[in-house]
């Protein structure tokens, strides 16, 4: 067997063969040949030479103190501008990230509204042709203009005046859902700019343009989305154009819409009034907390004075001074009044007054936490209303719709007023079409006695509340009551000859209102 020499081992190692040496064969520990050593050492030294021989950057020249001092300002300005721009971009991106969902929801709501509105308009036109005789379509009618086209009260007013033989024109401020535009009782629908603060010129000019274009003879403000203060400002302008405005003047509005002034007048005339405390500064509110006046019971603070009638605000006061947050400005020019609310049954009215006499009245009892209204016959409230307009002295006879709030005290059983708002309130939906003929007589042969009931005897119901009430506690009794309610009573919005507003309210307006509330809460949740 041949003996392996050092040369053979070196050749094997340097040959690049893949077969390793045998474990029985002794491996030589002698250094490799010189050519391998020189090759490795030369490559290593070459790398070291490149690393250490890299030329260093030349030193910056000394420009001197004055050039450095002058150049510091542009450098500082550039650094500051860059950081400011980065901060601004970050804030903008943060706001866009928070408002992005709201913008997308608003965009899809707009697209959804466009897709829904055109079929509804076509259905309205088709139903109008089906249920309206041809002679009625071509007959010349007097035009009635009604405000607040997004409210249910306006929808019922339009239907009642349409049944009385009038041509109805409705308008609403921008940014609200025009429910009445889908009614077959409404011939034209307009949107007007909303009045804000002292700027009411655009609102008044828009009303004048509508009255001139549509040849309006009668105007009924509902004061739902705008206060009666602005309609009182527009009243003399419309009356100069020959339009009869069924609303009080500015001075009468300041007497009725101002809770402090109304309670003061009632107290002078010897009528029943609740405990009320006029306040002209925050210190007076703190004083009422300190002496224990506001610690027990329920107290509501209403805005008073001319500006209070314009803004029409109210705040439910807490029972402790620590929880009171004076978020509204209180001064002599912006007074407020604190009214005590007594425990007991609460009532709200829709009172129609013509020439300072109560022409019609609907009183509803407020039930439940959701404020469900049930029409009732309350003689004491009717007597109080008649006494009010017979005793109060106005500059001229008052005509219009008013809404009074009362509480029947549990302890004493007496009826106490809590305030008044000029305008059409929700109890109006209990009126029949006879009410429109009382307010605006279509002909001289009209007879109140032969015209039928003024108030729907069975009242109204909301289909959503009836269904939810039956689902919450399902039973045979609840289902029987639901069927009886649907058969015997009239729904608050539905009418067989005008069904489109019913669909628009329950399937468009209510969902949109809930989505709008959610959209408004998105920025608050982000903070």
pLDDT for 369-391, tens place per residue?
666 778 899 999 999 999 999 99
Closest CA to 182 of 516, 495, 523, 513: 495
Average confidence (pLDDT) over 203-230: 96
Q: Among residues of the chain, what percentage have pLDDT more than 90?
A: 43
| Residue 18 in this model has a pLDDT that exceeds 50 | no
Q: What is the pLDDT of residue 305?
A: 92
Predicted confidence (pLDDT) per residue in 243-261, tens digit: 999 999 999 999 999 999 9
**Euclidean distance between CA atoms 182 and 190, whole angstroms:** 12
Element (H, E) at 172: strand 167-173
* Best mean pLDDT range from 1-10, 61-70, 140-149, 496-505: 140-149
Q: What is the pLDDT of residue 169?
A: 97
Between 7-16, 56-65, 402-411, the lowest mean confidence (pLDDT) is in: 7-16
**Selected residue with higher pLDDT from 406 and 451:** 406
**Selected residue with higher pLDDT from 413 and 369:** 413
Q: What is the DSSP string of 244-289?
A: EE-S--HHHHHHHS-HHHHHHHHHHTT-----EEEESSHHHHHHHH
* Best mean pLDDT range from 182-191, 322-331, 360-369: 182-191
Q: What is the pLDDT of residue 35?
A: 45
DSSP 3-state percent helix, strand, coil across the chain (nearest 5)? 45, 20, 35
175 φψ region: left (φ > 0), alpha (ψ -120 to 50), beta (else) = left
The pLDDT-based confidence of 42 (bands split at 50, 70, 90) is very low
Q: What is the pLDDT of residue 36?
A: 44
Q: What is the pLDDT of residue 44?
A: 44
The pLDDT-based confidence of 7 (bands split at 50, 70, 90) is very low
| Residue 510 in this model has a pLDDT that exceeds 90 | no
The pLDDT-based confidence of 454 (bands split at 50, 70, 90) is confident
Q: What is the pLDDT of residue 39?
A: 43
Q: What is the pLDDT of residue 17?
A: 43
The pLDDT-based confidence of 47 (bands split at 50, 70, 90) is very low
| Residue 487 in this model has a pLDDT that exceeds 80 | no
Q: Which pair of tokens denotes residue 95?
A: 């706001």
**Euclidean distance between CA atoms 348 and 15, whole angstroms:** 110
Q: What is the pLDDT of residue 98?
A: 52
**Selected residue with higher pLDDT from 60 and 181:** 181
Q: Among residues of the chain, what percentage have pLDDT more than 70?
A: 69
**Euclidean distance between CA atoms 98 and 411, whole angstroms:** 52
Predicted confidence (pLDDT) per residue in 260-301, tens digit: 999 999 999 999 999 999 999 999 999 999 998 998 889 999
| Residue 525 in this model has a pLDDT that exceeds 70 | no
CB atoms within 10 A of CB 172: 27
Cα 512 to Cα 106, 468, 502: the distances in Å are 10, 20, 15
The pLDDT-based confidence of 115 (bands split at 50, 70, 90) is confident
Average confidence (pLDDT) over 84-102: 64
The pLDDT-based confidence of 232 (bands split at 50, 70, 90) is very high
Between 115-124, 234-243, 342-351, 453-462, the lowest mean confidence (pLDDT) is in: 115-124
| Residue 116 in this model has a pLDDT that exceeds 70 | no
| Residue 158 in this model has a pLDDT that exceeds 60 | yes
Q: What is the pLDDT of residue 506?
A: 84
The pLDDT-based confidence of 51 (bands split at 50, 70, 90) is very low
Cα 238 to Cα 160, 208, 272, 391, 410: the distances in Å are 23, 6, 37, 29, 46
Nearby residues of 282 by Cβ (< 8 Å), 6 or more positions away: 326, 330
**Euclidean distance between CA atoms 193 and 203, whole angstroms:** 6
Q: What is the pLDDT of residue 37?
A: 41
**Euclidean distance between CA atoms 376 and 373, whole angstroms:** 9
Phi and psi, residue 12, nearest 5° = -65, -40
Q: What is the pLDDT of residue 404?
A: 96
**Euclidean distance between CA atoms 401 and 146, whole angstroms:** 13
Predicted confidence (pLDDT) per residue in 293-335, tens digit: 998 889 999 999 999 999 999 999 998 888 888 767 899 999 9
**Euclidean distance between CA atoms 388 and 313, whole angstroms:** 24
Q: What is the pLDDT of residue 448?
A: 60
Average of per-residue pLDDT values in the chain: 79
> Is-contact 364 348, C-beta < 8 A?
yes
* Best mean pLDDT range from 295-299, 353-357, 523-527: 353-357
312 φψ region: left (φ > 0), alpha (ψ -120 to 50), beta (else) = left
Closest CA to 171 of 154, 190, 184: 190
Q: What is the pLDDT of residue 442?
A: 58
Q: Give me the residues paired with residue 341 across strands.
A: 298
| Residue 131 in this model has a pLDDT that exceeds 70 | no
Q: What is the pLDDT of residue 261?
A: 94
The pLDDT-based confidence of 2 (bands split at 50, 70, 90) is very low
**Selected residue with higher pLDDT from 474 and 383:** 383
Q: What is the pLDDT of residue 524?
A: 52
CB atoms within 10 A of CB 105: 15
Predicted confidence (pLDDT) per residue in 422-446, tens digit: 999 999 999 888 898 888 865 555 5
């Amino acid at each position: 067997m041949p003996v392996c020499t050092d040369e053979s081992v070196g050749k094997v190692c340097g040959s690049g063969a893949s077969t390793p040496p045998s474990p029985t064969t002794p491996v030589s520990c002698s250094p490799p040949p010189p050519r391998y050593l020189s090759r490795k050492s030369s490559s290593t030294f070459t790398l070291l030479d490149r690393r250490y021989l890299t030329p260093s950057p030349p030193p910056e020249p000394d420009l001197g103190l004055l050039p450095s001092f002058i150049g510091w300002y542009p450098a500082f300005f550039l650094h500051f501008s860059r950081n400011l721009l980065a901060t601004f971009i970050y804030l903008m991106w943060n706001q866009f990230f928070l408002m992005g969902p709201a913008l997308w929801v608003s965009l899809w709501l707009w697209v959804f509204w466009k897709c829904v509105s055109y079929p509804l308009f076509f259905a309205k036109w088709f139903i109008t042709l089906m249920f309206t005789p041809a002679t009625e379509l071509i007959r010349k009618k007097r035009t009635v203009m009604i405000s607040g086209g997004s409210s249910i009260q306006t929808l019922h007013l339009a239907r009642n005046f349409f049944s009385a033989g009038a041509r109805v024109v409705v308008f609403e401020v921008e940014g609200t859902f025009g429910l009445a535009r889908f009614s077959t009782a409404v011939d034209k629908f307009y949107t007007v700019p909303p009045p804000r603060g002292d700027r009411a010129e655009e609102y008044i000019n828009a009303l004048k343009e509508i009255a001139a274009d549509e040849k309006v003879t009668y105007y009924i403000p509902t004061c739902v989305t705008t206060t009666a203060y602005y309609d009182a400002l527009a009243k003399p302008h419309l009356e100069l154009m020959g339009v009869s405005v069924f609303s009080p003047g500015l001075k009468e509005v300041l007497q009725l819409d101002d809770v402090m002034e109304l309670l003061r007048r009632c107290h002078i005339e010897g009528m029943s009034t609740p405990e009320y405390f006029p306040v002209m500064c925050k210190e007076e509110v703190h004083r009422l907390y300190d002496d224990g006046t506001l610690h027990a019971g329920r107290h509501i603070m209403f805005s008073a004075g001319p500006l209070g009638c314009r803004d029409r605000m109210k705040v439910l006061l807490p029972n402790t001074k620590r929880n009171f947050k004076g978020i509204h400005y209180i001064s002599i020019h912006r007074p407020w009044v604190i009214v005590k609310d007594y425990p007991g049954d609460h009532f709200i009215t829709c009172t129609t007054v013509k020439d300072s006499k109560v022409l019609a009245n609907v009183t509803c009892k407020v039930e439940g936490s959701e404020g469900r209204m049930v029409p009732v016959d309350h003689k004491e409230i009717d007597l109080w209303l008649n006494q009010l307009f017979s005793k109060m002295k106005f500059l001229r006879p008052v005509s219009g719709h008013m809404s009074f709030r009362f509480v029947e005290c549990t302890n004493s059983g007496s009826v106490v007023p809590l305030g008044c708002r000029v305008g059409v309130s929700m109890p109006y939906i209990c009126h029949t079409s006879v009410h429109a003929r009382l307010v605006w007589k279509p002909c001289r042969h009209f007879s109140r006695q032969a015209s039928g009931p003024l108030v729907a005897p069975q009242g109204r119901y909301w289909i959503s509340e009836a269904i939810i009430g039956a689902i919450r506690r399902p039973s045979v009794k609840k289902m029987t009551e639901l069927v009886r309610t649907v058969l015997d009573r009239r729904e608050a919005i539905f009418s067989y000859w005008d069904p489109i507003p019913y669909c628009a309210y329950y399937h468009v307006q209510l969902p949109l209102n809930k989505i709008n509330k959610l959209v408004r809460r998105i920025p608050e949740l982000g903070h």
